Structure 1
Amino acid sequence: MSSQAMQIPILDHIVILVSHKDLLGISSHIEGHLTLAPGGNHADGLTTNKLILLSDGVYLEFIAFFDDVDPERRRNHRWGKETEGTVIDWAFTLPSESDFAAVQQRFQNADTSASYTDPIPGGRTKPDGTVLEWAVCTPKDRQGNAVAPGSMPFWCLDRTPRARRVSYEAESHLTQHPNGVKGLLSVSIRDPDEGAFNLKGAYDAIFGGEWSYDVPSGSTAGKRAFSLSTGEAAIKLVFHGSKTGRFELLPGLVVDIESLA
Structure 2
Amino acid sequence: MSGQAVQPPILDHFVILVSHKDLLGLSNHIGDQFILAPGGNHAGGFTTNKLILLADGSYLEFIAFFDDVDPDIRRNHRWGNEKEGTIIDWAFTLPSESDFAAVQQRLKTADTGVSYTDPIPGGRTKPDGTILKWAICIPNDAQGDAAPPGSIPFWCLDRTPRARRVPYQVEPHLTQHPSGVLGVSSVSVQVPGEASKLKPVYDAIFGGAWNYEVPSGSTTGKHAVSLSSGEGAIKLVSKGSKSGQVELLPGLFLEIESF
For normalisation by structure 2, the TM-score amounts to 0.97
SS for the counterpart of 2:110 is coil
SS for the counterpart of 1:198 is helix
CA drift of 1:44 comes to 1.4
Instruction: Tell me if structure 2 keeps the 8 A contact 1:6–1:103.
Output: no
What amino acid is the match of 1:203?
Y
1:113 lines up with 2:113 in the alignment: yes
CA drift of 1:6 comes to 2.7
Q: Hey, what does 1:131 align to over in structure 2? A: 131
What amino acid is the match of 1:149?
P
- Distance between the aligned counterparts of 1:134 and 1:40, measured in 2? 14
- Distance between the aligned counterparts of 2:81 and 2:9, measured in 1? 27
SS for the counterpart of 1:14 is strand
1:253 lines up with 2:258 in the alignment: no
Identical pairs, percent = 73
How big is each residue's C-alpha offset from its partner over 1:209-235, in whole Å with a ceiling of 9 and x where there is no partner?
010100000111111110000011011
Matches within 5 A, 1:167-182: 167-182=167-182
What amino acid is the match of 1:222?
G
Q: Hey, what does 1:234 align to over in structure 2? A: 233
CA drift of 1:2 comes to 6.6
When residues 2 and 160 of structure 1 are mapped into structure 2, their CA distance, relative to the original with a 3 A threshold, is farther
1:216 lines up with 2:215 in the alignment: yes
Give structure 1 stretches of 5+ with no counterpart: none
Give structure 2 stretches of 5+ with no counterpart: none
Q: Hey, what does 1:8 align to over in structure 2? A: 8
CA drift of 1:5 comes to 4.1
CA drift of 1:111 comes to 4.8
Matches within 5 A, 1:13-24: 13-24=13-24
Q: Hey, what does 1:55 align to over in structure 2? A: 55
How big is each residue's C-alpha offset from its partner over 1:194-223, in whole Å with a ceiling of 9 and x where there is no partner?
46x921010001000010100000111111
When residues 68 and 176 of structure 1 are mapped into structure 2, their CA distance, relative to the original with a 3 A threshold, is same
For normalisation by structure 1, the TM-score amounts to 0.96
- Distance between the aligned counterparts of 1:116 and 1:96, measured in 2? 16
SS for the counterpart of 1:177 is coil
Q: Hey, what does 2:28 align to over in structure 1? A: 28
What amino acid is the match of 2:188?
S
How big is each residue's C-alpha offset from its partner over 1:42-64, in whole Å with a ceiling of 9 and x where there is no partner?
00111000000000000000000
- Distance between the aligned counterparts of 2:131 and 2:85, measured in 1? 28
- The alignment of Structure 1 onto Structure 2 pairs a total of residues equal to 259
The two structures, once aligned, show a CA RMSD in angstroms of 1.4
Runs of 4+ in structure 1 over 6 Å off: none
- Distance between the aligned counterparts of 1:106 and 1:243, measured in 2? 39
- Distance between the aligned counterparts of 1:58 and 1:52, measured in 2? 9
Q: Hey, what does 2:186 align to over in structure 1? A: 186
- Distance between the aligned counterparts of 2:223 and 2:139, measured in 1? 22
Instruction: Tell me if structure 2 keeps the 8 A contact 1:50–1:61.
Output: yes
What amino acid is the match of 1:104?
Q
CA drift of 1:143 comes to 1.6
- Distance between the aligned counterparts of 1:123 and 1:38, measured in 2? 15
Matches within 5 A, 1:82-97: 82-97=82-97
- Distance between the aligned counterparts of 1:64 and 1:124, measured in 2? 14
